Amino acid sequence: MSEKIKQTAGRDQLGEFAPMFAHLNDDVLFGEVWNAQAIDVKTKCIVTVVSLMASGVTDSSLVYHLQNAKAHGVTKEEIAAIITHATMYTGWPKGWAVFRLAKDVWKED
């Protein structure tokens, strides 16, 4: 069994302001969905990066998920191929935006 994913960002950042959202983020999304065993964490990381890319999300949440992908074994070569492939379906500007972020995350490799 792989390491259990645990997240507290919802409670840390929004717990008092939006407790239900914090619960859904920390307990449901990260507590249940990310810990489900049907697909491995590396695959979930890839799906998440591509989903955020497709949605045009290029803020700190995408940086977090790029870092998470790297931490769970996605190599520089793999992320470059993933972003290139997804660019063909999501659009060239999104590819450029994600490459800028990914290049920083994998810069020491």
For the chain, domains (ranges, CATH) are: 1-38 (no CATH), 41-105 (1.20.1290.10)
pLDDT tens sequence for the chain (109 residues): 467 777 787 888 888 999 999 999 999 999 999 999 999 999 999 999 999 999 999 999 999 999 999 999 999 999 999 999 999 999 999 999 999 999 999 997 6
Say what the pTM is: 0.88
Torsion of CA 48, 51, 56, 59, to 10 degrees: -10
DSSP-based three-state secondary structure for 3: coil
- Per-residue CA distances from 96 to 1, 10, 26, 58, 67 (Å): 36, 29, 31, 10, 18
